[in-house]
Structure 1
Amino acid sequence: MPFYCQRCGTSLPPSARFCSNCGNVVTAAPPLSGRSLVRPIVGRQIAGVCIGVAQANGWDVMLVRILTVVGFLFTSGLVGVAYLAGWIGIPEEPIAMPGTYPPGAYPPGSYPPSTPGGYPPSV
């Protein structure tokens, strides 16, 4: 996705910090806020599609659920087909197992940490 200079409209690569035409400082777009689109385990009513969409966009869950039901009634089931597609296509939230580290907490081969005395500790 090319960026454009706000002053002169020159197309710039995403890594540009300055406009090559006029020298204007190019500011990067702020990152998108919110969570990734997943179907959470906790708080779901049927499949978790409505709560996943609501959390990903920062909306109220009850509003999304009400709009889904109203949309289902007024579109002759088209929203129901979209709900089924979301049920199939949106991944479930990964389950955090107690006692495990999150992925990437330790690089491969770096655990156990190197400590004086070696591992396992000698008695």
Structure 2
Amino acid sequence: MPFYCQRCGTGLPPSARFCSNCGTVVTAAPPPPGRPLVRPIVGRQIAGVCIGVAQANGWDVTLVRVLTVVGCLFTSGLVGVAYLAGWIGIPEEPIAVPGMPGTYPPGSSYPPGTPGSYPPSV
């Protein structure tokens, strides 16, 4: 995400301290505290919305879950609609595979452990 000089609007890399066009000191906003808002794969009860919100803000997940249920009851389902919107809108946590950028190593067969090439020739 590029930064922009507030004085002249020049696009700058995130590591820039000064604007290359006008020389103005560039101040970058600190990253937000906690984790990014994602629905984790591990620890979810239904869709992972409550645990994602709790982890992103540093809150207790049990408290968030209890407040969600109580809020759903006392707001005639409005919090339930917000939960469904979070289920749809909050992305799932990416699955991290060590050393793999998403492809199999060169020269290996797919699926792993199968002899020959994939797809098999008929």
Same fold (TM over 0.5): yes
Query: Deviation per CA, 1:40-60, whole angstroms, max 9, x where unpaired?
Result: 000000000000000000100
Greater Cα shift, 16-25 or 62-71: 16-25
Shift of 1:115: 31
% identity of equivalent residues: 90
Greater Cα shift, 113-122 or 21-30: 113-122
- How many residue pairs get matched? 120
* Distance in 1 of aligned mates of 2:94 and 2:21: 47
- Classify 1:116/1:82 alpha carbon distance in 2 versus 1 (closer, same or farther; 3 Å): closer
TM-score by length of 2: 0.58
Shift of 1:105: 13
* Distance in 1 of aligned mates of 2:86 and 2:111: 41
- Classify 1:30/1:115 alpha carbon distance in 2 versus 1 (closer, same or farther; 3 Å): farther
Greater Cα shift, 87-96 or 25-34: 25-34
* Distance in 1 of aligned mates of 2:7 and 2:62: 43
* Distance in 2 of aligned mates of 1:96 and 1:15: 27
Shift of 1:31: 2.9
Query: Which residue of 1 is the match for residue 105 of structure 2?
Result: 107
Shift of 1:32: 1.7
Q: Can you give the 5+ residue segments of structure 1 that lack an aligned partner in the other structure? A: none
- Classify 1:115/1:16 alpha carbon distance in 2 versus 1 (closer, same or farther; 3 Å): farther
* Distance in 1 of aligned mates of 2:14 and 2:98: 41
Shift of 1:111: 21
Q: Can you give the 5+ residue segments of structure 2 that lack an aligned partner in the other structure? A: none
Shift of 1:5: 16
TM-score by length of 1: 0.58
Q: Rg bigger for which structure?
A: 1
Shift of 1:27: 7.3
